[in-house]
Amino acid sequence: MRCRVRFLPSEKEIEIEAGEMTLLEATRAVDLPIASACGENGACARCGLEIVAGADAIDPSTEREETIKARNRIDASLRLACRVHPRGDMTVRAAYW
């Protein structure tokens, strides 16, 4: 199954195979800047994105993800792009796009 990921405010989109790519990989695939200091290991929390639509297309945040965000003072409502595998259409936002 394929799904579409839309990035705001850039309006870029990508179609990916559901569950096979992280949101971080999808972001890089459309040439948008995204921070990641830990090598996509989920430790730095720099890749936090707002899920605007399609939150039901991803797994809920894990306890580990919540701990990492708290430790790095990242807004709890953001999701770590390196931990999210879209399984359906979704829209995400970063203030710096």
**For the segment 34-63, what is each residue's pLDDT rounded down to a tens digit?**
988 887 777 888 899 999 999 999 999 999
Taking the C-alpha atoms of residue 44 and residue 20, their distance in angstroms, rounded to an integer, is: 22
The pLDDT of residue 76 is above 80 = yes
Mean pLDDT of 3-31: 95
For residue 53, give the DSSP letter: E
Q: Please name the fold of domain 2-93.
A: Ubiquitin-like (UB roll) (3.10.20)
Going by pLDDT thresholds of 50, 70 and 90, the confidence category of residue 9 is very high
Q: Are 3 and 18 a contacting pair, CB within 8 Å?
A: yes
Q: pLDDT at position 38, please? A: 81
pTM value?
Answer: 0.90
